[in-house]
Structure formats: C-alpha cells, structure tokens
Chain A
Amino acid sequence: SQKIEQNSEALNIQEGKTATLTCNYTNYSPAYLQWYRQDPGRGPVFLLLIRENEKEKRKERLKVTFDTTLKQSLFHITASQPADSATYLCALYNQGGKLIFGQGTELSVKP
C-alpha cells in the first residue's frame, strides 16, 4: 500500500541546535516533495519544494534533501529558535495524482 510517514513523536531540541525531521514514503514515485509549517489553529504554510532531480534545496536556515533511492526526504533547521516551534508537514506530488500529506512532526525548540 502507499504510505507517507513522518516521525509521530514530537522532537524536542535546544535553541541553537539543528533540527532534523524525516519523511519516508513507500509505493509512490513523487515528482516533487513540499514541506509546510503549521502553527496551532492555523492552516499550513508552504516552506520549500524539492524536485525529484534535485538532491538538496536551501532557503535561509532551512535545508531539504530528497533521496529517491531511499524514498526519503530530510528537513533541517539550523541554528533553531523557539519561534521555529510548530508542526512540520511533508507532502508529495505523485505523477498524475494529488498532493499527499504526511501526519506531521511537532517540533519544540527550548530556550
């Protein structure tokens, strides 16, 4: 069956450290992956998109990798800040399909 999975357990890290969130998928051949941030009581906000032919994409303190062999995307936040605390969702676009979302990983950055 097709699945997209993110760490269900919340990730707690210290301010200034690098946060790494994982998104794994099975039985999909995504053309690209997107990462979204969702704050409590709000809708998701788009952060980054990485295509299947790209290994890595950066935006300020954010870095996303995409390994189509491992069927995995990693989302990194360097020099994390308490304001980065939120739930992060990955979403993949399957060829000819729709945007499929993971359940999200909650990140908590402690000062």
Chain B
Amino acid sequence: GAGVSQSPSNKVTEKGKDVELRCDPISGHTALYWYRQSLGQGLEFLIYFQGNSAPDKSGLPSDRFSAERTGGSVSTLTIQRTQQEDSAVYLCASSQGDFQETQYFGPGTRLLVL
C-alpha cells in the first residue's frame, strides 16, 4: 500500500475488556514501531520490531500490553483487561531500517475505555 494503515480507526471498549489493534506497515519496511499519544502529551514509545530480531519491549507500560509481528509484516498490539488510563491514540510507524531512518506513521487508533 501507499502508506501505513491501522485498524480500527476508533475503538470504544468497557473497562476490563481486551482489545486488539492492527498495523499494516509499508511494504518492504523492516522496522515497525508502536507509540502511544495521550492528550497533550508527546509520543510514548511502546515496542520496536526489527526484522527477525527479538522485539524491544522496553516501553510497554505493563504486562497487560503485548504485541506481535507475523511474517515480518502485519503487527497486532493487544491490551488485556483495559483500564481507563489506557485511553489514548495508538500510533504505528514503519521505516526501512532502524531508529536512524525516517519513520512513516499511520493515522492511529483512538482508544476510549469507559
């Protein structure tokens, strides 16, 4: 595709439910990143996938958060037992190389936990 796509664009869920957010990176990009952006805040790094290497999970805020990347392409971010403080915009980005390369962002998934 022409750019990074994410789905759903909006998600409303009840506290305690699990949610899955999907990211389709730009074809051929080896690196994929997940960020969280809360209202008025900067982008908070969550997790980074690079090729077949083990992902860098150092930004995940708790063990309720997990992500996987299948076949080096599509990625899914899962939040278990959602809490109200998980409400934010979740952004996915991809790049041709590592963090030193330009990142291309998707439109984000707006998550609201009631």
Contacts and interface: CB of A to CB of B under 8 A. Distances in A.
A25 interface: no
Contacts of A45: 105
A103 B48 contact: no
B99 A43 contact: no
A45 B108 CA distance: 12
A2 to B, nearest CB: 13
Given A89-B42, A98-B45, A101-B42, A31 B100 contact: yes
B111 interface: no
Contacts of B106: 43
A59 to B, nearest CB: 13
Interface of A: 4, 8, 31-32, 34, 41-46, 49, 89, 91, 93, 97-104
A104 to B, nearest CB: 6
Interface in B85-107: 91, 93, 99-100, 102-107
B93 A43 contact: yes
Contacts of A100: 45
B107 A46 contact: no
B74 interface: no
B42 A99 contact: no
B114 interface: no
Contacts of B42: 4, 89, 101-104
Contact of A43 (B40, B56, B108): B108
